[in-house]
């Protein structure tokens, strides 16, 4: 295998110059950089990563903690994080907590003992103070998608309230007055904000939210199906449902089909995420598009800015816009709420 000295000899520079160039610790003339790059390519030189990490004090790796890598939303988010990290020369270690708080806490604790430089954390559980305490003094963490109150680190969220407001207004504009909402865990930031947007749109239109027509639980298909069954089996049922995630919307569709009903003829449906499957299901799902790629890109950018001490520092909170994507799962109601 070629050594650093071999590269230096081929490029006509000192080994120190090559080492500092590879570690981004020296500015060299373009012609010199070109000679070093050509020598690296010719000799197929591969740096000794362990030696470089010891010399720089950096692992050149970050950790991504995510609730469920099998969930298409978190899978797409992880892919975006990996793309940006690899472009910046960092490896990504992914920990999937399966939505369990204990697993998430263990993953945060392991970060202190593992060879990573920083952490991007996505959660889907309300904190009882444990995670805030673990992260309180860390300057190498970025929160993504959901908040942990009391932690002073950069946060990247979307405009949850504006998204659910737009979704609800779309249903109202299509003639619906009897609208239910199925959401994730109570007190979780995204759930609270999406419920607020739904409530604001209904109030502005002078429409009541019927008792029992807001069902909170988990961002899962199972919750979507179970909640929809409750709504469809009740004495009255809505003509439209706002599902606060596309995964919940999948469960809504399952429950509707089991009842021998169809979307949108018997029930209109709007999701939230715009996952890849949203336009592939039948009918194609009207949903709120989250900029998942930009979320992942910004998370890595902010984390590396923290690690490298860049100024100005990343903003305390960043909100990214969302967009209503109208497809075929919404139609004017054929009747008012069935009683």
Dump pLDDT digits (tens) for 131-152: 899 888 778 899 999 999 988 8
The span from the CA of 335 to the CA of 301, in Å, is: 50
Of 249, 252, 258, 251, nearest to 278 (Cα)?
249
Question: 295 with 153, same domain?
Answer: yes
Q: What is the pLDDT of residues 16-38, one digit of tens each?
A: 888 888 876 778 899 998 999 99
Is position 130 within any domain?
yes
Least confident interval from 44-48, 120-124, 151-155, 302-306: 44-48
Residues 22 and 116 in one domain: no
Reported as a single tens digit per residue, the pLDDT across 99-133 is 788 888 888 887 765 678 899 999 988 888 988 99
For residue 199, the model assigns a pLDDT of 98
- Taking a C-beta distance cutoff of 8 angstroms, is the pair 132, 283 a contact? no
Q: Kindly state whether residues 169 and 69 are assigned to the same domain.
A: no
Residue 227 confidence (pLDDT) above 50:
yes
What pLDDT was estimated at residue 58?
59
Residues facing 156 on adjacent strands: 144, 318
Q: Are residues 279 and 194 in the same domain?
A: yes
Residue where the block lists tokens 């409530």: 199
Query: Are 151 and 255 part of one and the same domain?
Result: no
Would you say residue 47 has pLDDT above 80? no
Indicate if 94 and 186 belong to the same structural domain. Answer: no
Q: For the chain, first and last CA: distance in Å?
A: 78
Is 204 part of any domain?
A: yes
Separation of alpha carbons 232 and 212, rounded Å: 12
Provide the residue range defining the domain that includes 34. Answer: 4-56
Q: What is the CATH number of the domain that holds 21?
A: 1.10.260.40
CA distance 9 to 27: 19
Q: How many domains does the chain have?
A: 3
Query: Residue 264's domain is classified under what CATH number?
Result: 3.40.50.2300
Whether pLDDT at 192 is above 70: yes
Write down the pLDDT at residue 257.
96
Question: What is the pLDDT at residue 50?
Answer: 45
Q: 85 and 44: one domain?
A: no
What pLDDT score was predicted for residue 166?
98
More confident residue, 325 or 102: 325
């Amino acid at each position: 295998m070629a050594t650093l000295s071999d590269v230096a000899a081929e490029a006509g520079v000192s080994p120190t110059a090559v080492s500092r160039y590879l570690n981004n610790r020296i500015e060299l003339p373009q012609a010199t950089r070109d000679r070093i790059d050509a020598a690296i390519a010719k000799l197929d030189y591969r740096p000794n990563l362990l030696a470089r990490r010891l010399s720089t004090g950096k692992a050149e790796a970050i950790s991504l903690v995510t609730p469920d890598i099998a969930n298409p939303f978190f899978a797409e988010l992880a892919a975006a994080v990996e793309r940006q990290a690899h472009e910046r020369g960092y490896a990504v270690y992914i920990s999937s907590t399966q939505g369990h708080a204990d697993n998430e806490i263990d993953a945060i604790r392991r970060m202190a003992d593992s060879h990573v430089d920083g952490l991007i954390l996505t959660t889907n559980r309300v904190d009882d103070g444990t995670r805030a305490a673990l992260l309180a003094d860390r300057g190498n963490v970025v929160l993504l998608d959901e908040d942990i109150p009391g932690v002073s680190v950069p946060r990247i969220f979307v405009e949850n309230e504006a998204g659910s407001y737009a979704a609800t207004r779309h249903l109202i504009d299509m003639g619906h007055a009897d609208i239910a909402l199925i959401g994730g865990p109570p007190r979780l930031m995204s759930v609270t904000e999406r419920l607020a947007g739904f409530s604001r749109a209904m109030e502005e239109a002078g429409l009541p939210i019927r008792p029992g027509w807001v069902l909170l639980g988990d961002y899962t298909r199972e919750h979507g199906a179970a909640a929809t069954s409750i709504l469809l089996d009740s004495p009255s049922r809505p003509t439209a449902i706002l599902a606060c995630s596309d995964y919940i919307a999948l469960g809504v569709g399952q429950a509707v089909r089991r009842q021998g009903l169809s979307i949108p003829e018997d029930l209109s449906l709007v999701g939230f995420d715009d996952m890849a499957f949203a336009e592939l299901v039948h009918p194609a799902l009207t949903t709120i598009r989250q900029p998942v790629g930009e979320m992942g890109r910004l998370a890595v950018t902010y984390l590396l800015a923290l690690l490298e001490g860049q100024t100005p520092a990343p903003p305390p909170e960043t909100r990214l816009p969302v967009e209503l994507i109208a497809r075929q799962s919404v139609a004017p109601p054929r009747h008012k709420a069935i009683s």
